Chain A
Amino acid sequence: MIWLAWRQFRLSALAVLGTLAVFAAALAISGPQLAELFRESQASFFELLEFDDFKKAVFVVGTALVYAVPAVVGVFWGAPLVAREFEAGTHRLVWTQSVTRTHWLGTKLGMAAIAALAAGLLGLLLTWWSGAIDDAIAAGYSSDTLMGMPRITPVLFGARGFLPAGLTLLALAIGVTASLVIRRSVVAMATTLVVMVGVQVSLAVLVQPNLLEPRVELQSFSLETLDGDMAGGPAAVVATFKQIDVKLDQPGAWMLSQTTVDASGSAVDEFPSWTSDCVGQRDAMAGCMARLTTEGYRQRVSYLPASDFWTLQLVETGIVLGLAAGLTGFCFWRIRRDLT
């Protein structure tokens, strides 16, 4: 059965794994170079990185690739697994040899799962490669580009650690489930793609912020941490601040939410009237910030620190693998029922 499973799988497997291997080589070669760059440049790391088009390309393509791998695996390895047999009628040939359907599915799925795991571990390789960048961010150096974002933020989190491996296995499970239920390859492939994109987006937007208990800090105001402000007020009166945003002074952390609170700790609806002196006045801003702090105003920030990265990876991957296991169990149950 292993022979047959590989014979049917080999083209598809080598196409995907081959492509990823090429990219893995690029990562392996440029990784040490990146680390070297950080060791030597330290504070000017990100500036120098701006000029390195190759490394920027590796980063962007790598992240995109790791995000795409689960859907690709689900669509090209998972969705045709059973559906193609139904469409060609070959299930009437292969299921009437001497192996049980469970054995058949187990072998094909097992082989694909091993390959899927290998594909998903590209995320781990990307994490290793980005080590220098993460070290730079931890040291307090920053950049406003994509490359300078902390790895725990949703934009990059799904492409790091072992979450991609978990997502790849989940995508495979979704693909095979679609294959069994829909029984037509193309429809199963489209369904898998849509579902997987939905899963990855939902995870980043809906699930990830709610998995771990965030830290809360009351941050003082200063010109350095001011990120932006919004002014407003009745038209007849001079405008005051409506909202102030600050940058977190925790390197590598992911800010979940922030509100301005007064000295008693309750949220601020209206800023004091004297702030109208600072609206739009950059020179006076430092003084306003200092005065806000003295008067007891703080920015209440809710965030996840950089040190929570691996814990969050563990929890989210656990959820994803749990879903994958559930779907796989369904598949093994379904394959033993009537299927003509």
Chain B
Amino acid sequence: MNTVLQARGLGKKYGRKWALSDCTLDVPAGRVVGLVGPNGAGKSTFLNLAVGMITPYAGTVEVLGESPTSRSAPRSRVGYVGQDTPTYARLSVADHLRLGAHLNPAWDADLAAGRIARLGLDPDQRAGRLSGGQRAQLALTLGIAKRPELLLLDEPVSALDPLARREFLQDLMEAVADQQLSVVLSSHLVSDVERACDFLIVLVDSRVQVAGDIEELLATHHRLTGPRRDPATLPADQHVVTASHTDRQSTYVVRTDAPTLDPAWAVSNLGLEDLVLAYMSRPPTVRDSRPALQVLR
């Protein structure tokens, strides 16, 4: 299995606050990874570390086999679209494409020009005069036409209206299909993640809560509902993610590989949003003491 991003104990500290701590995961190639978590959880920090904007305080990160800040880092094979999709306000659309051509050895000019034409962007229009959605599409064009192996996107669609968001994702997915691109996309919209992603990383409070193949995660997480019961009485191979009780009833979200045979429990599957919410709503003491679960294919 080809690993496109590998982190071992990765951490970043600013002053006394940890922006990201103890992050260990392997991202396989050819996936669209959804990086999910509340604001301030460390998603931007993670992506900045992956693209080499900042250096780790602790641990290591390797992208395409190299440290992103080393001299031999494969800069031309990693693309990045930053938060708020920055563009040069006073440069035209065509100028941005020239920028891409001059600064990237593997630039695909036809692909870029084709995209711009299909999007209906005026090449002579200054980037500052474009709408938010158009700017995001321009930034995406720059990221895609570079022909990278891995594309990192830091909440590129958060500030966009639903139509612009949909169009952005459509174009991104088309590029994934076309170029066999690996993508890491950070978002706080689980619905987008559900459509587009097949690998999930949940970050809460600077820590990885869960990381793995979405299909496998959905297959191994269940909601158990039944009469009120102490969690210690559950079978040993069932890891409790969340628990809630009323005076009569207990509801657990568990992760398990084995089927639940106890007839007292009503077992149902979780949707992705419920799964993410379960991991996000764990109380801090539980969150930080449990090691992150990594599901490997």
Interfacial residues, chain A to chain B (CB-CB below 8 A): 1-4, 7, 88-90, 92-100, 337-340
Which of B71, B83, B88, B100 counts the most chain A CB atoms within 10 A?
Answer: B88
Q: Do A97 and B100 form a contact, CB below 8 Å, given A88-B86, A89-B84, A92-B86? A: yes
Interfacial residues, chain B to chain A (CB-CB below 8 A): 48, 51, 53-55, 71, 75-76, 78-80, 82-84, 86-89, 91, 95, 98-100, 102-106, 139, 142, 146
CB of A97 within 8 A of CB of B87, answer: no
Residues of B within 8 A of A340 (CB): 48, 53-54
Of A94, A95, A98, the residue contacting B105 (CB under 8 A) is A98
9 further contact pairs, Cβ within 8 A, besides A89-B86, A96-B78, A340-B53: A4-B99, A4-B103, A88-B88, A89-B84, A93-B87, A98-B76, A99-B103, A339-B54, A340-B54
CB of A7 within 8 A of CB of B146, answer: no
Residues of B within 8 A of A92 (CB): 53, 80, 82-83, 86
How far is it, in angstroms, between the C-alpha of A92 and the C-alpha of B80 when the chains are bound?
A: 8
List 14 A-B residue pairs with CB atoms under 8 Å apart, sorted by A's residue number.
Answer: A7-B95, A89-B82, A89-B84, A90-B87, A92-B80, A92-B82, A94-B99, A96-B75, A96-B82, A97-B146, A98-B103, A98-B105, A338-B54, A340-B53
CB of A97 within 8 A of CB of B53, answer: no
How far is it, in angstroms, between the C-alpha of A98 and the C-alpha of B84 when the chains are bound?
A: 21
CB of A99 within 8 A of CB of B75, answer: yes
- Minimal Cβ-Cβ distance residue in B for A339: B53
How far is it, in angstroms, between the C-alpha of A124 and the C-alpha of B187 when the chains are bound?
A: 59
CB of A100 within 8 A of CB of B75, answer: yes
CB of B99 within 8 A of CB of A97, answer: yes
Would you list the 4 A-B pairs with minimal beta carbon distance, nearest first?
A: A92-B82, A97-B103, A96-B80, A98-B76
Residues of A within 8 A of B99 (CB): 3-4, 94, 97
Residues of B within 8 A of A338 (CB): 53-55
Residues of A within 8 A of B84 (CB): 89
- Minimal Cβ-Cβ distance residue in A for B104: A98
CB of A7 within 8 A of CB of B91, answer: yes
How far is it, in angstroms, between the C-alpha of A46 and the C-alpha of B223 when the chains are bound?
A: 101
